[in-house]
Structure 1
């Protein structure tokens, strides 16, 4: 009975593994392919959408992540007053998901 229980628990853990995996940064070499096949918008366009929210700001950091089946483009901006902003965009649509002042 103990072997059966161990095997059952192992099978359950392994079958749930894809759902338990942490969100992943998308490697740079895959970003171009995602843009070319239309899965995500160009990073240039996504940057422009973010900068429209804070005219005159500069981008200090950005990364593309794959979270729960969605590509999320995360940016850190600094506006002309030195205030830092965290933005998240849906990389496929360009929709703004988060736009808040950094703590």
Structure 2
């Protein structure tokens, strides 16, 4: 059976849209997987090797940024080969903050008020 040209174009556009959507979803799932929690068993080795700063130093960076705040949670993640220390804090007014710190040098990469 031979399809009219307009039907072929619609079929090609549908196929193109479907392929594009699959590619976008695939990239989104890959980027979500790229941030891996670093197991506690590896942290000492990373500190001894000089790959990251000690967690005490990184905690101090967060507390210097928000004096009198309390650290409520921390995570060390490997994002595309870069170690990011994520710190959650609560300040004396009860405001919660999320900080991302480059674990190799202590630079604050970003902060967000919750």
| Same fold flag (TM > 0.5) | yes
Residue 32 of structure 1 corresponds to which residue in structure 2?
A: 44
Residue 85 of structure 1 corresponds to which residue in structure 2?
A: 97
SS of aligned partner of 2:56? helix
What TM-score do the two structures reach when normalised by structure 2? Answer: 0.71
How many aligned residue pairs are there?
85
SS of aligned partner of 1:85? strand
1:53 lines up with 2:65 in the alignment: yes
Deviation at 1:78, TM superposition (A): 0.1
SS of aligned partner of 1:55? coil
Q: Which has the higher helix share?
A: 2
What TM-score do the two structures reach when normalised by structure 1? Answer: 0.78
Structure 2 alignment gaps of length 5 or more: 1-29
Between the aligned partners of 1:97 and 1:20, the Cα distance in structure 2 is 19
RMSD of aligned Cα (Å): 1.6
Between the aligned partners of 2:54 and 2:45, the Cα distance in structure 1 is 11
Between the aligned partners of 2:43 and 2:96, the Cα distance in structure 1 is 26
